[in-house]
Amino acid sequence: MTSGTIYLVGAGPGSPDLLTLRAARLISRARLIVHDGLVDPQILALARPDAKLISVAKSRARHTMQQNDINALLVAEALKGKDVVRLKGGDPFVFGRGGEEMEAAHAAGVAVEVVPGISAANGAAAAAQIPLTHRDHASIVSFVAGQCKGLTQQNWAGLAGVGRTLVIYMGVSTAAQIAEKLMADGLAPDMPLAVIENAARPEMRVLRGSLAALPQLVAAKKVKSPALIVIGEVTAQLVAQSVTQSVGVEAK
């Protein structure tokens, strides 16, 4: 029997109209969808009524399914001849473990297709009207994971600063260590930043502050995951006041 194909599909930051047409088509035709916790229910609602939906929701503290088990599940279903839509928040290849699932499929000789999604950084930047690059303010943009093995050992030197934008995924619970680490690397305590919670969703919050005030901002505003921390001059410029609350910096 020929095996099915595993489609690693990016679901974008939330809203169904930020799906690619290719993703929407695959979701609406799929018989089997394996999705993680960040995928919005409105997107899952695009699936056929008879589609089988399997949640492999992951959160930092609670792993409902280990990555190896997810890989094994995808491969086992494909080897039974089924096409599998593996639906992930944002983009599958940006902190999405899409690479590991692709490797597992390749190792088992199963065909894989990857459908890109709007990553949280792009969705958040658009929704909060914070350009990630700007000819006057930033010509380098970097994405880092704030919750990862050995945060303190990660070398972020040079990624943030004047003329640069640093986007930190999964950084809410380690905000204090992140601020300390960046200031130890020489970043100015008054470097502006924005925390964007639930980007591109109706409940989005955009909070602005300075690097030194980041831990205080996260605590005072009770910021919860999913949220991004964007550090750099772009967060202080071209401010969309209507979606902005300010803590720790005076309005310019």
Please give the residues from 30 up to 89 whose contact with ligand SAH meets the rule CB under 6 A.
38, 88-89
Name residue, tokens 């409902």: 64
Catalytic residue among 17, 40, 52, 58: 58
- Please indicate whether residue 58 is annotated as part of the active site: yes
Tell me: does residue 14 bind ligand SAH (CB under 6 A).
yes
**Burial environment of residue 107 by CB neighbours within 10 A (0 to 12, 13 to 18, 19 or more):** exposed
Tell me: does residue 11 bind ligand SAH (CB under 6 A).
no
Alpha helical stretches, state H, the chain: 21-29, 41-44, 67-79, 98-108, 120-128, 175-184, 214-220
CB-wise, 17 or 50, nearer to ligand SAH? 17
User: Distance (Å, rounded) from C-alpha 209 to C-alpha 221?
Assistant: 11
Q: Are 156 and 177 in contact (CB under 8 A)?
A: no
Per CB under 6 A, the segment of 27-35, 72-80, 118-126, 244-252 that binds ligand SAH is: 118-126
| Single-letter amino acid, residue 115 | V
CB-wise, 57 or 220, nearer to ligand SAH? 57
CB-wise, 16 or 163, nearer to ligand SAH? 16
Per CB under 6 A, the segment of 42-50, 99-107, 197-205, 230-238 that binds ligand SAH is: 197-205
Closest to 55 in 3D by CA, of 13, 87, 100, 97: 87
Residues near ligand SAH (CB under 6 A) are 13-14, 38, 88-91, 94-96, 119-120, 124, 169-170, 196, 198-201, 225-228
Active-site annotation, residues: 36, 58
